[in-house]
Structure 1
Amino acid sequence: MTTERPAPPVRAGERETLRAFLDFQRATLVMKTDGLTDEDLRRRSSPPSTLSLLGLVRHMAEVERTWFRRVINGEDLPLVWSAEGDFQAAYDARTATRAEAFEAWKAEVAHARRIERAADSLDVTGYQPRWGEHVSLRLVMLHLIHEYARHNGHADFLREAIDGTVGA
């Protein structure tokens, strides 16, 4: 399977640009997993780190859920992999499968897209309890772009250590 990445526009409005860059980063993470087995995706390929590609996918499902559903939409719901609110639990993918991780991730991305599209503007805010303040949808989208970009860098190293695949 080859994942297609949307090309962000070179001239567009702020919201369209943020949306496109976020979708580009989402697709990049998926690309890093193309063609790998569940065993490959669970592999902790960069010792001494315990991080795996599947752990990153699970973590990003939690990130999408937290920022869009819990913060912007104000939904009172637990994390996907930890009822106790332990964000680190998602990284432990020793028994996870591609199907399970991507089903959760895709569901959270769909919720995030729905919430973003329904918002009147990028100035819509939600309360972020860990920061103790209200944040705008604009900040959330920028934060997610940052979060994906950082973890996609990790994914580059993890993927290269698995099978030598490098590149965008």
Structure 2
Amino acid sequence: MTWTAPEPTRVGEPLTGPERPMLQGWLDWHRRTLLTKCAGLTADQLKLAAVEPSNLTLLGLVRHMTDVERVWFRWRAAGDHTVGSPYNSADNPDGDFDDVATADAEADLARFEAACADADRAAATLDLDHEFATARGRRSLRWVYLHMIEEYARHNGHADLLRERIDGVTGA
């Protein structure tokens, strides 16, 4: 039996409301959009670099966003410097994208879901105005939300092209 990525539960993006729930709602919508692009595909399809000459894959995007969730919300904003990457290292800085051929797609999708839940728990302890230092200056949790929404939007565009090339499926 071939494993197939499950269909995610997806709630529409928020149209009105206070700032924090709007930011969280849009972030959640984009997270689910990425999973929607993966839904119904086999592990082999998730690993397919379908837009030559790029080596980009849907699973690589999921793995990358797992790292991005961990880095921005937990390591940088919440200051949890025990958080490491399950994919990248100093010797292999692009392992999230490059090492998908032997990856376990089911485990990587579960790791993504866990990283999102962990990021939400870390962010819940912080005010939107909470600031932290980076090599390029100070940032706020508000900035992290906006950056993550932008990062997902960009990569969801990549995911849309990959999915269309894999099996013709298009749309949100």
TM-score between the two structures when normalised by the length of structure 1: 0.92
Shift, 1:2, TM fit: 2.9
Structure 2 counterpart of 1:106: 113
- Structure-2 separation of matches of 1:34 and 1:60: 16
Q: Which segments of 5 or more consecutive residues in structure 2 lack a partner in the other structure?
A: 1-5
- Structure-2 separation of matches of 1:16 and 1:68: 16
Match of 1:84 among 87, 90, 94: 90
The reply on whether 1:64 has 2:69 as its aligned counterpart is yes
Percentage of pairs with the same residue: 41
Structure 2 counterpart of 1:151: 155
What amino acid does structure 2 have at the position aligned with 1:60?
Answer: M
What amino acid does structure 2 have at the position aligned with 1:135?
Answer: R
Give the aligned length.
Answer: 165
Q: Which segments of 5 or more consecutive residues in structure 1 lack a partner in the other structure?
A: none
Secondary structure of the residue aligned to 1:32 is helix
Counterpart mapping for 1:126-165 below 5 A:
126-129=132-135, 131=136, 133-165=137-169
Shift, 1:3, TM fit: 2.3
Contact kept, 8 Å, 2:62 with 2:109, in 1: the verdict is: yes
- Structure-2 separation of matches of 1:8 and 1:28: 10
CA RMSD of aligned residues (A): 1.4
Contact kept, 8 Å, 1:78 with 1:85, in 2: the verdict is: no
Shift, 1:105, TM fit: 1.0
TM-score between the two structures when normalised by the length of structure 2: 0.90
